[in-house]
Amino acid sequence: MRFDVITIFPELIHGYLREGVLGRAQARGLIQIHAWNPRDFSDNAYRRVDDRPFGGGPGMLMMAPPLLAAIAAAREANPGAPVIYLSPQGQRLQQGAVQGFAGADGLILLAGRYEGIDERVLAAVDAEWSIGDYVLAGGELPALVLIEAVARQLPGLLGHADSAAEDSFADNGLLDCPHFTRPEVVGDVRVPEVLLSGDHARIRSWRLQQSLGRTAERRPDLLAQRVLSAREQKLLDDYRRQDGE
């Protein structure tokens, strides 16, 4: 899958994606990352990409011509890929949309800076997405969040075959269960006995019960979106009874 990012800080993108599982995914050709710098498409000697806002106001805005030219170049290199602008004005990114994007051949991501971009750029944008209701200094981190969340869904990307499929939000819409590794005792806290039992059916039930319980306690909104099977309801009832003890 090819990701093109339009950014005045290409190294922010390449630097982060060079590491870890995403770096290995690039080396394996599972994903391709290309950054386009609007400065390379600026028609003035100083490679200027920003200017003062009409109507006044603080700060600078990104000018339309360099961004539109960079978008056109990216579209030519990544044909058919939707152009996504990351901004707090976008629709909220959730796992469902991430899985949808994972089915695309490519994505073109526009990372804004300064106080924003000239509104006329949005005529060349297919969708506007937000990673959350807060304001960052630029769209590079949101672009990286989207790339990482989508890339993790690609078959073969994660070492363990079903890791992504087992992600809490990915397959069951619940929060993740607690996880433990060696040493078996930390301070005076032992690993829950069930996880040492080797009884995999019992371990799966315990993990599901913990996810259900945690989701009920911390994100009742997520639980409300989900129909529980009779088995899941019983696990949750038992969890609540144990919790209440």
Q: Which residue is nearest to ligand 4GY (CB)?
A: 112
Whether the CB-CB separation of 83 and 146 falls below 8 Å is answered with: no
Residue 53 as a binder of ligand 4GY (CB under 6 A): the answer is no
Size of the site for ligand 4GY (CB under 6 A): 15
Candidates 115, 162, 237, 243; catalytic one = 115
Site membership for ligand 4GY, residue 146 (CB under 6 A): no
Q: What residues from 80 to 119 belong to the interface with ligand 4GY (CB under 6 A)? A: 86-88, 112-113, 116
User: Which listed residue (50, 66, 152, 214) is catalytic?
Assistant: 152
Among 53, 82, 138, 173, the residue binding ligand 4GY under the rule CB under 6 A is 138
Residue 115 falls in the annotated catalytic set: yes
Q: Pick the binder of ligand 4GY from 132, 155, 178, 192 (CB under 6 A).
A: 132
Active site residues: 88, 115, 152, 167
Residues of this chain that interact with ligand 4GY (CB under 6 A) are 86-88, 112-113, 116, 130-132, 134-136, 138-139, 142
